[in-house]
Amino acid sequence: MTASVPPQRPNVELREVARGVYAPALVFEVGVGAIMPIIPLSAVALGANLAVAGLLVALLGVGQIVGDVPAGALAARIGDRRAMLVAAALSVLALMGCALAPNLGVLGAGVVCVGATNAVFTLARQSYLTEVIPVVKRARALSTLGGVQRIGAFIGPFIGAGVVDLVGLSGVYWLAVLTSLVAGLVVLVVPDVAGAEAVRRRHAAVMVPMRTVLRQNARVFLTLGFAVMAVGAVRASRQVVLPLWSEQLGFSPATTSIVFGISGAVDMLLFYPAGKVMDRRGRLWVAIPSMVVLGCAILALPMTTTLAGVTVAAMVMGLGNGIGAGILMTLGADVAPAAVRPQFLGIWRLFSDAGVAGGPLVVAAGAALGSLAAGIGAMGAVGLLGAVGLARWVPRWSDHANATTRRRAAERETRPPGPTPTAT
């Protein structure tokens, strides 16, 4: 199956979408990143124990999973930019609920809603970039989006820490309210670069039920979809295995935070070069090394016993994760049928986010059974299996997998019409 690509404006550059996509993405993610470490603290302040506080944090991911498929349907019905505006507005309401929450139930509901609005905002940005950016620059555009999200999530907690010192825990939620308002305002005032023809196609599009999209694309979801799930699981587990292993080795929280920060810094430096490689050489030139490096680094982590060893493993994890920035969004854009792109991407993100939710659970299960190292090792093995799955199925579904698939696609496009000769 090869996704058809509608006519696109060949002169759209990344800088043209920077104000309308990357700027609000950065601002929005700063707010989400700021509240991440505050959610468990707010839960404790409302009377929760540590287990319940951890569950409240997990509800953010639950909200994203719940919101993925409706996000695709919403973007298909009202358009990508309007979906971003709706998400920003609902995020403001959800964050206000978190700031004013009188009990754990209201806080939990607010966190779920924030996760759902994040799913809408992320999917709409991905679908919009896929529409307006020429395919030869698609990977750079989407890897830059992934990089911007990483930068926002990285600096958000630092800004949030300053706000906590000034006005307390609730102030961080009000900071996130402000970032959501600013993100929505930027989307509202920045002109649409898609062009009149693309806007006309949006309005003329016929709404296709999600079950139809799922049925028509079942083969890609049952193959490449599971590789995508593995990638999401491994990448999410990285955020869990580092602090847990550091805790087992007896490092202080401050030391663990520094190691995690170093890993994040390496992660953020590589998104644009990775996108350029994907555009020039093909998606597998980044996808497979990313999973192999990340999987091997996770496998090596339980063998480390010193701060230096953990730091090196953390940096290699950051390297593996960083070179894969935007790979799932790019693959989704490659294989999504143009006529039902938002709905397809909603289901695609459901597979990815299910992996994100499941990865840390595998690590936690290993720890609960008495062997944290076994749980970490299992996720490292999943990373290597993910690399195998990508190598097996990406060329089957994407013309942009590598140089060979691109050459074959070009040959199909230049082949004269008429019956295919048969061998005699």
Quick check: 376 and 302 in contact, CB under 8 A?
A: yes
pTM: 0.83
- Give the pLDDT band (50/70/90) at residue 333: very high
Q: What is the pLDDT of residue 10?
A: 44
CATH architecture of 13-206: Up-down Bundle (1.20)
**Homologous superfamily of 208-409 in CATH?**
MFS general substrate transporter like domains (1.20.1250.20)
Burial call 9-25: b when 16+ CB within 10 Å, e when fewer: beebebebbeebbbbbb
Q: What mean pLDDT is reported for the chain?
A: 85
Q: What is the pLDDT of residue 195?
A: 56
Q: Check pLDDT > 50 for residue 305.
A: yes
Same fold, 13-206 and 208-409: yes
The C-alpha atoms of residue 120 and residue 64 are separated, in whole angstroms, by 8
Q: What's the start-to-end Cα distance of the chain, in Å?
A: 28
Q: Check pLDDT > 90 for residue 167.
A: no
- What's the full length of the chain, in residues? 424
Q: Check pLDDT > 60 for residue 421.
A: no
- 102 phi, psi to nearest 5 deg: -85, -15
Q: What is the pLDDT of residue 229?
A: 94
The string of pLDDT tens digits covering residues 56-86 is 877 888 898 999 989 988 888 888 888 989 9
Alpha helices in 369-398 (DSSP H): 372-397
The string of pLDDT tens digits covering residues 359-385 is 888 887 887 777 888 888 999 999 999
Q: What is the pLDDT of residue 414?
A: 67
| 397: nearest Cα among 409, 386, 385 | 409
Q: What is the mean pLDDT of residues 97-126?
A: 92
Q: What are the domain boundaries of the chain?
A: 13-206, 208-409
Q: Check pLDDT > 70 for residue 25.
A: yes
Higher pLDDT, 46 or 48: 46
Q: What is the pLDDT of residue 161?
A: 83
Please tell me the number of Cα atoms within 13 Å of 300 on its side-chain side: 16
The C-alpha atoms of residue 80 and residue 382 are separated, in whole angstroms, by 34
- Give the pLDDT band (50/70/90) at residue 270: confident
Q: What is the pLDDT of residue 78?
A: 85
Q: What is the mean pLDDT of residues 307-335?
A: 92
